[in-house]
Amino acid sequence: MSELLKPFWEVWTAPPEHWHPLLIHFPIVFLILEAVLLGLFRLTGKPDYERWSFVFLHWGFWAIMVAAVAGFHDVGLDLGVGNRIWLGLQDRWHNVFRFQSAITVHAWLALGLLVITLTRLLWRKLGGAVAIRGVRGCGYAGLTFVSLWLLTAAAYVGGRVVYK
């Protein structure tokens, strides 16, 4: 029983060195919940679904930002003395077009997801509930599908990096 409960206190008493794998699940869950609620809104027209889908989209965007910073931190762990986030950013910049690296591919997919999520967030913020109705709503749903596809691809490549 203590083995089952151990992770609840170990995350505080013996925090992990790599934070990205721990934090990446939040944007995944938030963006999937946003898509499910968006689908329910399209089916039922209930405003609560529209409102909560926007909340989860917002949380998903900020969770992606936090997970990205954690990813740069984790990349910078073994790169010498200094700020790990800054070292990770420098490493990614120096290897930005080195596509034989799974980390580079993962970073590009995550960047695409970030850009599309920000686009969808601005679309909803500026357009309100009208932005996801009618023809515009079909375009938004298409963009949501693309973001879920990018999320899946980024998760697949990231999983291959961690679980060789």
What is the C-alpha to C-alpha distance for residues 22 and 50, in angstroms, rounded to an integer? 29
Residues 161 and 103: beta-carbon distance below 8 Å? yes
**What is the C-alpha radius of gyration for the chain, rounded to an integer number of angstroms?**
18
Instruction: Give the tens place of pLDDT for each residue, 123-157.
Output: 999 988 788 888 888 899 999 999 999 999 999 99
Q: In terms of residues, how long is the chain?
A: 164
Instruction: Give the tens place of pLDDT for each residue, 2-61.
Output: 788 887 877 777 667 877 888 889 999 999 999 999 999 989 989 999 999 999 999 999
Residue 53: what pLDDT? 94
Q: For residue 88, is pLDDT > 80?
A: yes
- At residue 97 the predicted structure's pLDDT band, cuts being 50, 70 and 90, is very high
Amino acid 93 reads: W
Residue 81: what pLDDT? 87
Instruction: Give the tens place of pLDDT for each residue, 118-130.
Output: 999 999 999 887 8
Residue 15: what pLDDT? 62
Residue 121: what pLDDT? 95
The pair of structure tokens assigned to 61 is: 């965007």
Residue 157: what pLDDT? 94
Q: HEC states along the chain?
A: CHHHHHHHHHHHHCCCCCCHHHHCHHHHHHHHHHHHHHHHHHHHCCHHHHHHHHHHHHHHHHHHHHHHHHHHHHHHHHCCCCCHHHHHHHHHHHCCCCCCCHHHHHHHHHHHHHHHHHHHHHHHHHHHHHHHCHHHHHHHHHHHHHHHHHHHHHHHHHHHHHCC
Instruction: Give the tens place of pLDDT for each residue, 104-115.
Output: 999 999 999 999
Residue 10: what pLDDT? 78
